[in-house]
A and B are shown apart, each in its own frame.
Chain A
Amino acid sequence: MKDFIIPPKDWDMGTPLSRSTKTVTLSVDGFEVTVPEGTSVMRAAMEAGIKIPKLCATDSLEAFGSCRLCVVEIEGRRGTPASCTTPVAQHMKVHTQTPKVKKLRKGVMELYISDHPLDCLTCSANGDCELQDMAGMVGLRDVRYQAPEGAPLANHFTPRDTSGAANPDWTPKDDSNPYFTYDPAKCIVCNRCVRACEEVQGTFALTIEGRGFDSRVKAGAPGDDFLASDCVSCGACVQACPTATLQETSVIEMGTPDRSVITTCAYCGVGCSFKAELNGDELVRMVPYKHGKANRGHSCVKGRFAYGYAKHKDRILNPMIRDTIEEPWREVSWDEALKFAATRMRGLQETYGRKSVGVITSSRCTNEETYLVQKLTRAVFGNNNTDTCARVCHSPTGYGLGQTFGTSAGTQDFDSVEDTDVVIVIGANPTDGHPVFASRLKKRLRQGAKLIVVDPRRIDLVKTAHVEAAHHLALRPGTNVAVVTALAHVIVTEGLFDQSFIQERCDWDEFQEYAEFVSDLRHAPEAVELLTGVPAEDLRAAARTFATGGNGAIYYGLGVTEHSQGSTTVIGIANLAMLTGNIGRKGVGVNPLRGQNNVQGSCDMGSFPHELPGYRHVKHPEVRAVFEEVWGVEIDAEPGLRIPNMLDAAVEGTFKGLYCQGEDILQSDPDTKHVAKGLAAMECVIVHDLFLNETANYAHVFLPGSTFLEKDGTFTNAERRINRVRKVMAPLNGYADWEVTQMLANAMGAGWHYTHPAQIMEEIAATTPSFAGVTYDLLEEKGSVQWPCNEDHPEGTPLMHVDGFVRGKGRFIVTEYVATDEKTGPRFPLLLTTGRILSQYNVGAQTRRTENTVWHDQDELEIHPHDAEVRGVKEGDWVKLASRSGETALKATLTDRVSPGVVYTTFHHPTTQANVITTDYSDWATNCPEYKVTAVQVSPSNGPTDWQEDYEAQARRARRILPAAE
């Protein structure tokens, strides 16, 4: 974008911000400017409002000093130093526009242009090219380098010379990546892409091959193109490229965008801020926003590129109804659909009672939308039957951290990772599940922080370019509690705990009791080695590293929570953090990595059947009174049903109607057959979604949803950060999701009249103490805030528990290991664990409808070569995967990432339906399903199972849509 229309706050400052607290004052062209020590002269000049021409510098990367365009003169110094690599000094006098530097810059520019095509008007970067801008800025008017007589001037941009002979220095475009194109003809070899891949993303997929005039950017080794290389398509190189060399394919096709809206990504729980760049209402590209406090200008393949689903042909734009699920869908007007739904729901309540219907809120929708959905059941249906997909992911986090610290939330912001010295990653795969956080973590690890990975599988972080875990504790699935308790055993028995922290901040008596419990020899690493499969020496070493290595931070994911002892492990993690005094400052803490964009928000907003917004139990009359006054209704004091209870009740015939917004429980919840049976037993299932998802196969009403691009609202990410989602374009389906919920409520007689989500946020702030200070005006001003945001913390709370735990004293709770009932045996000798892959997201409803399928078009079963060999399974073979719940078939891939005895798959594709296999075991405290441990058998197979084929047939039948009757 033309710099002169970019607001100064978004200028490229050339070099990164210095973190020094000391300041230096200097003068640039006679203007005094004060900057932190360590700032470059270039950045100082920019701070003073004076731009210095540059090509190889950009503020996301360390200074490189290769283009020589940013030369300046400094009084008292010899020559013309590059301003990007020269740090400021006190009283320095810099001159940026002397005759000498102007002449030098023109000469440098002339050399650049001598090997660059002059096709600016038809170039895809026209108007968005730094080379073009700099040529203009230095006033280049002529290029004197001419070809010698009879011979062409050596260059990289003409495919053939004038005689028609091929130019050996020319390389064709590489468009192997579906989202961006590499055109070597436009390359000025500034190195920004290579450095972005290294410094920002940490993948090191790019290099400069050759030397001198032969130097070219290269993805991977000889013979690789971008797709075949290690490239993860994060877009950092495209973002860094100053020319058209690395360009979004969408820009090549559509042209340069001319307006932008700042919004928040709707994929994982990192919650990256993006600039949606458009022409009119046509979205041209999504660009990571450098002032986004979660992502700091970085992105991953999903947020940056995989938004094509918003306009996919599968998207349903008209409401549909049907009397039974055997019938095809009928497209009807909004009025008719809402009337149909309202009448049915009220009818069911009259026949089967007030509590026979409920809702499922979505962790992908906004806070405001989620708030309305739970309000719908509490205020309009008159019961507390609300639950959300957090039930199946992070509900143990809510319970565990609530019990120990007093509130259900991660303790840090993502910036905190920059100050951490030892990181434990347990049951999480950040490079695939939370890629932008993984890049920030890898950056810190490359600076020397130590890493301990606790995971049955050798995730990428264990060993990836320039990063190697100090310890990888490859435990057997299901033994998290034993490992975490053994770590605590070592810390306590070897006296490595932080006594002063515990005495000051925690309940000492409870600690004593806990210390006695973990000191028991049965928790010693040697004692649990047989059970966990983790060598005792490794475990001891890891515990010592964590306890003595400085700032220790724990990051964990669903590999912790989705177990029958998920809540216990969360408590164990909290214990570890308290034991080592790693709470309440930068660089430490307990950090749940949330799966979906708004899991945190949907929990905050009272999606659980026993809690009103702000995690307050519905049994307390004073809490109910707050909402009763605002809503003008009486609230049921009895907690409602959880998702598994709803399904059980449906099978029993007491639960009959469900409004399910933006979630596909049939695919994402465990034991698919049971879910299907429950849904089939209901008489009114209302699905509110973008697509006819798997759950919709059992629905009677389909209400079309809107994408994150089509509505206003807020998402709350894993660091409790409330980020604005802004309407980029009008909803294709006509209404934002909050409007649809409101219309449904009103069809049932609610009389709501919100006209903008800001009003819903006002209601949230008025009723929920931790959101008391949140307003859209504040979000506009600050960009984002982290809750609690109230009178005590008017600008939000980046770090929790700084002066004391929310609950007062931190509470140690004993964590007894109880083996899961899901055990291997002769029939099912292997343990299946499940996870995610970078290019796909959750049930894949969005990512499967984008070009991301080039990386992962089906779920595969990872199996150790030993286990494969004894079963006669070869790479790429179809295998049958069976558990006591069911069976499915998929293709096998042989890898030693998994240990012998363990197999692994993803659950992104409905044709595989990995959740047919998973069982109905769940967390003792919260019912969070035990996805991560299932005893299975693997055997060779010819293709899909009968069940898969029947399922396909049923899905096809259920998705029929009658042509609209005119």
Chain B
Amino acid sequence: MTSTPAPSVAPAEAEIDALIAAQLHLEGPLLPIFHALQEAYCHVPQAALSRIAEALNLTRAEVHGVMSFYHDFRSAPAGRHVLKICRAEACQSMGGAALADRLLAKLGLDWHGTTPDGKVTVEPVYCLGLCACAPAAMVDNKVRGRLDDAACDALIAEVRA
């Protein structure tokens, strides 16, 4: 098990309600609400689910169903850096699986894990559209291609700094 740093203060209900209310004029406001909350808190607080359900006249189950469909909506904050390693076919054929195993071992993590210092979270991703430069990864929304051991070490040093 890896631990995730707990947010210092639980988000206030009134603040959540305000973020929800700001999206209600949109058609289909559920996803924009998730985005707004994640933007504000780096995750979608569990306490927000019933507030969203109430505001949109949905059930908590429905809200949870939609949120859990999208891997990028988090129920807990991620580490400071998010490292996504491609596990799709092209990268696997270029040694991506072994590379990922080594990377995880060096960080002492399993998939979706966060280092105890809260610096980095590792997640799988299925194709970054960078097959020509496989194996590929993405750090904080920036893609990296042609990863070898040296590049990986540099990458680790960068995110742990």
Contact = CB atoms under 8 A, between A and B. Distances in A.
Contacts of A205: 59, 61
Interface in B58-77: 58-65, 68-69, 71, 75
B69 A465 contact: no
Interface string B47-64: 001100100011111111
B89 to A, nearest CB: 15
Candidate in A206, A223, A465, A466 with the most chain B CB atoms within 10 angstroms: A465
A465 B62 contact: yes
A206 B61 contact: yes
Given A221-B49, A222-B75, A230 B65 contact: no
Nearest to A230: B59
Interface in A178-209: 203-209
B64 A466 contact: no
Contact of A221 (B57, B63, B69, B71): B63
A463 B61 CA distance: 16
Contact of A204 (B49, B58, B68, B69): B58
Interface in A466-519: 466-468
Nearest to B46: A222
A220 interface: yes
A229 interface: yes
A211 interface: yes
Interface in B84-109: none
A218 B61 contact: yes
A209 B62 contact: no
A229 B57 contact: no
Contacts of B58: 204, 465-466
B46 A229 contact: no
B46 to A, nearest CB: 7
Interface residues of B, number: 17
B57 A466 contact: yes
B56 to A, nearest CB: 9
A463 B64 contact: no
A219 to B, nearest CB: 7
Nearest to A229: B61
Contacts of B68: 209-211
A265 B63 CA distance: 35
Nearest to B126: A212
Residues of A in contact with B, size category:
20 to 34
B60 A230 contact: yes
Candidate in B50, B59, B65, B71 with the most chain A CB atoms within 10 angstroms: B59
Contacts of A210: 68-69
Contacts of A204: 58-59, 61-62
Nearest to B65: A207
A224 B53 CA distance: 15
A336 to B, nearest CB: 58
A229 to B, nearest CB: 7
Nearest to B64: A221
Contact of B61 (A219, A464, A466, A467): A219
A792 to B, nearest CB: 47
A203 B53 CA distance: 13
A211 B61 CA distance: 15
Contacts of A219: 61
A208 B66 CA distance: 8
Contacts of B63: 221
A465 B59 contact: yes
A712 to B, nearest CB: 42
Interface string A763-791: 00000000000000000000000000000
Contact of B57 (A208, A211, A224, A463): A463
Contacts of B71: 211
A222 B64 contact: yes
Contacts of A218: 61, 64-65
A221 B50 contact: yes
A410 to B, nearest CB: 30
A207 B62 contact: yes
A230 B53 CA distance: 12
B61 A221 contact: yes
A411 B88 CA distance: 64
Contacts of B61: 204-207, 218-221, 224, 229-230
Nearest to A468: B57
B60 A208 contact: no
A361 B161 CA distance: 84
B65 A208 contact: yes
Nearest to A219: B61
Contacts of A467: 57
A207 B57 CA distance: 15
A218 B64 CA distance: 9
A168 to B, nearest CB: 10
B112 to A, nearest CB: 11
A465 B57 contact: yes
B59 A203 contact: yes
Nearest to B61: A207
Nearest to B68: A209
A852 to B, nearest CB: 22
Nearest to A466: B57
A368 B79 CA distance: 73
Contacts of A209: 64-65, 68
Given A209-B65, A230-B59, 15 more contacts: A204-B58, A204-B61, A204-B62, A206-B61, A207-B61, A207-B64, A207-B65, A211-B71, A218-B61, A218-B65, A220-B60, A220-B61, A222-B46, A224-B60, A230-B60
Task: Please name the 9 residue pairs, one residue from A and one from B, whose CB atoms are nearest each other, closest first.
Answer: A207-B65, A221-B60, A207-B61, A204-B59, A209-B68, A221-B64, A465-B59, A211-B69, A220-B61
25 contacts: A204-B62, A205-B59, A206-B61, A207-B61, A208-B65, A209-B65, A209-B68, A210-B68, A211-B71, A219-B61, A220-B60, A220-B61, A220-B64, A221-B46, A221-B49, A221-B50, A221-B60, A221-B63, A221-B64, A222-B46, A222-B64, A224-B60, A464-B57, A465-B57, A467-B57
